[in-house]
């Protein structure tokens, strides 16, 4: 039976995490109307390892902002809906958040398919969505709902370009590509081949496997036999990415392995085990060696009893910071349309990572390659490569 729930992160909830600091805002904050924000995230199902950290970060950042007086005296109230990694539930959740909970912005869904299902609902109700996923089509101008969807991380066009470029800079000439068998994996792998040709790289071999695969020895052997000097792993699921890494080790593959943003998390290191040593990744956040901007977010999460796991926390934080900064610029009533209009001219947004985000009418991605870092797995940790 499908199980979903709604949780309101109200003032009383946030105060538990911050030991009474929540009430330290100005007195007029108590009489101002709240700023209702919806979280449409995958807290169960295959994407839960991403959705749960996203939720944790949004709650921690919202509590901090509320403790400091809110947004122009308005306290942030979060309504949370678990879409179960199911696009149908994502559309249903968007409807509930807008119509029942009266949210003026939505953060979600965790997956691209969930965002694509929820976006038409948001468009009809004139509520902007901050999408915490890199799926190419989410911010495509071909979508009727394009004006209402903004990304809270670098998109996969940027992520893929940087991954291929850095592999080439490390000396790759012939590359193999392994990808997960779904629309996300195939579309990105196809684009990866285009980018590789742009950088003068030869495609030595390509292999794929379903998301639930555990033995990838045949795929690894197929690519090894094509004699590449680097293999790019295009997978978003840590278990699948780690299964390929372990298979490559077992068959004594000599090629350098490169992994994408989606695998830049603790679960990938743990699942890869010793086979992960030497794997290079392009990541949004490195909690093992955090840049100065990232440290305060880690402090917030630890104060809330959460241990940072990967990039999910960062993209959740990016999303709520964008909404808050847009809300600060609204003159008069804060509506979904007013927020959307301000998001589209929001530039110079500082977050917990390097660089500053900049949206425009022609660019709803907002986050550039400046936000990406190259790391290597060594002895169970991500080590930043200078």
* pLDDT tens readout for residues 69-105: 999 999 999 999 999 999 999 999 999 999 999 999 9
| pLDDT band at 15; cut points 50, 70, 90 | very low
Residue-wise pLDDT for 316-341, tens only, equals 999 999 999 999 999 999 999 999 99
Question: Is the predicted pLDDT of residue 145 greater than 70, yes or no?
Answer: yes
**Nearest-angstrom CA–CA distance, 265 and 271:** 10
| pLDDT band at 30; cut points 50, 70, 90 | low
Which parts of the chain are beta strand (E)?
6-9, 35-41, 76-82, 105-108, 129-131, 149-151, 174-180, 202-209, 230-234, 256-259, 280-283, 347-350, 356-358, 373-378, 381-384
Structural domains in the chain, sorted by start: 6-154+293-368 (3.40.50.2300), 157-283 (3.40.50.2300)
| pLDDT band at 272; cut points 50, 70, 90 | very high
CA 289 centroid distance within chain: 19
> Which three-class secondary structure state does DSSP give residue 102?
coil
Question: Is the predicted pLDDT of residue 24 greater than 90, yes or no?
Answer: no
> Which three-class secondary structure state does DSSP give residue 300?
helix
**Nearest-angstrom CA–CA distance, 318 and 349:** 9
What would the two tokens of residue 61 be?
A: 């950042």
Question: Is the predicted pLDDT of residue 6 greater than 60, yes or no?
Answer: no
Residue-wise pLDDT for 182-193, tens only, equals 877 888 899 999
Question: Is the predicted pLDDT of residue 10 greater than 90, yes or no?
Answer: no
Q: What is the average per-residue pLDDT within 227-256?
A: 95
């Amino acid at each position: 039976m499908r199980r979903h729930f709604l949780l309101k992160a109200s003032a009383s909830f946030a105060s538990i995490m911050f030991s009474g600091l929540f009430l330290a805002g100005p007195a007029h904050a108590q009489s101002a109307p709240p700023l209702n924000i919806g979280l449409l995230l995958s807290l169960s199902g295959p994407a839960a390892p991403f959705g749960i950290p996203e939720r944790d970060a949004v709650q921690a950042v919202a509590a901090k902002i509320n403790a400091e007086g809110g947004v122009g005296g308005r306290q942030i109230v979060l309504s949370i809906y678990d879409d179960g990694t199911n696009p149908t539930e994502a559309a249903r959740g968007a409807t509930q958040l807008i119509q029942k909970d009266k949210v003026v912005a939505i953060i979600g869904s965790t997956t691209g398919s969930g965002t694509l299902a929820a976006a038409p609902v948001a468009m009809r109700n004139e509520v902007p969505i901050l999408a915490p996923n890199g799926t190419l089509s989410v911010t495509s101008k071909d979508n009727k709902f394009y004006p209402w969807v903004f990304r809270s991380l670098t998109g996969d066009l940027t992520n893929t370009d940087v991954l291929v470029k850095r592999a080439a800079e490390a000396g790759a000439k012939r590359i193999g590509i392994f990808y997960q068998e779904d629309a996300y994996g195939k579309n990105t792998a196809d684009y990866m081949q285009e980018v590789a040709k742009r950088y003068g790289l030869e495609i030595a071999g390509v292999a794929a496997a379903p998301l639930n695969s555990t033995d990838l020895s045949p795929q690894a052997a197929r690519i090894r036999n094509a004699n590449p000097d680097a293999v790019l792993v295009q997978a978003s699921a840590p278990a699948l990415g780690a299964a390929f890494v372990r298979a490559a080790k077992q068959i004594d593959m000599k090629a350098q392995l490169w992994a994408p943003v989606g695998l830049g998390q603790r679960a990938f290191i743990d699942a890869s085990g010793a086979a992960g040593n030497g794997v290079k990744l392009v990541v949004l956040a490195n909690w093992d060696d955090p840049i100065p901007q990232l440290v305060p977010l880690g402090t917030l999460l630890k104060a809330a009893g959460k241990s940072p796991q990967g990039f999910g926390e960062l993209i959740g934080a990016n999303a709520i910071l964008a909404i808050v900064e847009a809300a600060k610029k609204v003159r008069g009533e804060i509506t979904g349309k007013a927020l959307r209009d301000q998001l589209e001219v929001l530039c110079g947004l500082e977050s917990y990572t390097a660089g500053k985000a900049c949206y425009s009418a022609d660019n709803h991605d907002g986050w550039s390659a400046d936000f990406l870092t190259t790391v290597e797995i060594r002895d169970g940790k991500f080590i930043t490569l200078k």
